[in-house]
Amino acid sequence: MTLRSLLDEHRGEELDLYARTINPQFVRLLRTIGFDRRWARAEGAYLYDADGTRFLDLLGGFGIYNVGRNNPRIRAALVEALELDTPGKVQLGVSALPGLLAKALLERAPSSLGRVLFTSSGTEAVEGALKLGRAATGRSKVVSCEHGFHGLTLGSLSAAGDAVFSERFGPLLPGFSRVPFDDLEALEAALRGQDVAVFIVEPVQGHGPHFPSDGYLEGAQELCRRYGTLFCVDEVQTGFGRTGRMFALDHWGLEPDLLTVAKSLSGGYVPVGALLMSRAVCDAVFDSLEHSVSHGSTFAPNDLAMAAGLATLEELDSERLPEQAARMGELLLERTRPLVERYEVVKNVRGLGLIWAIEFQEPDGGSRSWRMLERVQTGLFAQLVVMPLFDRHKILTQVAGHDSNVIKILPPLVLSEDDVDWFVEALDATLSRAEKLPRAMVRFAIKAARANRPRHGFFSKTGSSRA
């Protein structure tokens, strides 16, 4: 039986099969909010359902499709790798592809980084940073930021700054503490004891998104140097062109000791991540023959992932996709900033490259319907915008975080001016209707939220995947 014939045999059963075998509550969520489409194919910045309807994908698989969905050049590299019959994971031996991808990454990274450890995901890269950071410094404490997100495995959860992800999975690992993002005084107080192994920070906090003030990240790096703490920048979401530079840290000229990447490194085809580290960190951990295998991951540096990574970096360079993200991001801000003046319910619009967000607030003078929504669940108004954007205007977006009245987008970097126009016009039309809070919209949102209340709410948790 071929894969095509197997898929044809079960066509139309996708949701039911997923519910029976994987996660019935996720399928229930999709059906409740009207996102239970049968997806047929994808290309670039677009998704197509079984009826052939085109959707603009501004979710981008939570930011993994920087080079566009089903990029043909990444696919060609994978086909070529399969046809080469490479030796793959010899384990007690190496192949050329991991070294080549590591070299390509280091050529694009800050000069402070000199070694690469491959992983299969972003959270695994973070786990590596925490583990190796402790070994390299001989210290056990880790400091992270409130509202930060670093993944869903136990070490990453211990560093997370939002209890909604960790509250049911304790006790977490000891030695972790958090400070407010963008607060150098609080960070210095945490580091002053010279007993912190790692300070880990997202240059732009994804669950917001929250952007740093001028001088914050440079100041954090200097404090880490002063107190002997390793400076770890988590670029799992912001890396590979997302903010208009190859890495977000390039905006501030940072030189970290540790850098975590993943998500879009393989163009969305193969799970892959990496921890880039300084030579000093690497040499302190892998300091002998005995310790040469102190950390690794069985499948991480596999030849398919490495081939996809090399092709993705080449695509980012040849198509100048970071520059494209910068241009489209500026256009998007230019087109959406007027919404703050046009609608009382819009608090602000913010972005950097193609990580963009719009935040909502209670209208001046108060609103009975707004307060009713907020009593049921904070952030329901944002969902009242997300749902019609999807159903009426065929645009896929997300609420930015738990109990958040923020909509965030992470579109493929191949987004065009016409796509920006499509989104802005749809957003304007949706806000015009949603600001009036029609009874039907309010009733639907409240009914959906109450139906799922025992399961801690579902509207904002769909943005938490760590690829």
Tell me the residue type at 71: N
Q: What is the reported pLDDT for 462?
A: 43
Is pTM beyond 0.85? Reply is yes
Tokens of 89: 């994971």
258 touches 277 (CB < 8 A): yes
Quick: pLDDT tens for 229-286: 999 999 999 999 999 999 999 999 999 999 999 999 999 999 999 999 999 999 999 9
Q: What is the reported pLDDT for 373?
A: 76
Burial of 373 (0-12, 13-18, 19+ CB in 10 A): buried
Q: What is the reported pLDDT for 436?
A: 79
Distance separating alpha carbons of residues 253 and 195, to the nearest angstrom: 26
* Cα dihedral 301, 303, 309, 314 sign: positive
Distance separating alpha carbons of residues 125 and 128, to the nearest angstrom: 5
Edge-to-edge strands, sheet with 46-49: 39-43, 46-49, 54-57, 395-396
408 touches 356 (CB < 8 A): yes
159 touches 148 (CB < 8 A): yes
Quick: pLDDT tens for 155-194: 999 998 888 888 888 899 999 999 999 999 999 999 999 9
Is 457's pLDDT higher than 70?
no
pLDDT band for position 18 (50/70/90)?
Answer: very high
HEC states along the chain?
CCHHHHHHHCCCCHHHHHHHHCCHHHHHHHHHHCCCCCEEEEEECEEEECCCCEEEECCHHHHCCCCCECCHHHHHHHHHHHHCCCCCCCCCCCCHHHHHHHHHHHHHCCCCCCEEEEECCHHHHHHHHHHHHHHHHCCCEEEEECCCCCCCCHHHHHHCCCHHHHCCCCCCCCCEEEECCCCHHHHHHHHCCCCEEEEEECCCECCCCECCCCCHHHHHHHHHHHHCCEEEEECCCCCCCCCCCCCHHHHCCCCCCEEEECHHHHCCCCCCEEEEECHHHHHHHCCCCCCCCCCCCCCCCCHHHHHHHHHHHHHHHHCCHHHHHHHHHHHHHHHHCHHHHHCCCEEEEEEECCEEEEEECCCCCCCHHHHHHHHHCCCHHHHHHHHHHHHCCCEECEECCCCCCEEEECCCCCCCHHHHHHHHHHHHHHHHHHCCCCHHHHHHHHHHHHHCHHHCCCCCHHHCCCC
Is the link from the previous residue into 98 a cis peptide, with omega within 30 of 0? no
**Alpha-carbon 265 to chain mean position:** 12
Is the pLDDT higher at 283 or at 292? 283
Average pLDDT, the chain: 91
Is 464's pLDDT higher than 80?
no
Q: What is the reported pLDDT for 330?
A: 98
Nearest to 231, CA basis, from 204, 198, 196, 203: 198
Distance separating alpha carbons of residues 55 and 78, to the nearest angstrom: 27
β-pair type (196-201, 176-179): unpaired
Q: How many residues does the chain have?
A: 467
Quick: pLDDT tens for 102-137: 999 999 999 999 999 999 999 999 999 999 999 999
Tell me the residue type at 145: C
Query: What domains are defined for the chain?
Result: 17-70+321-463 (3.90.1150.10), 73-318 (3.40.640.10)
- State residue 265 phi and psi, 5-degree precision: -60, -30
pLDDT band for position 366 (50/70/90)?
Answer: low
Q: What is the reported pLDDT for 34?
A: 86
Quick: pLDDT tens for 385-444: 999 999 999 999 999 876 789 999 999 999 999 999 999 999 999 999 888 776 666 676
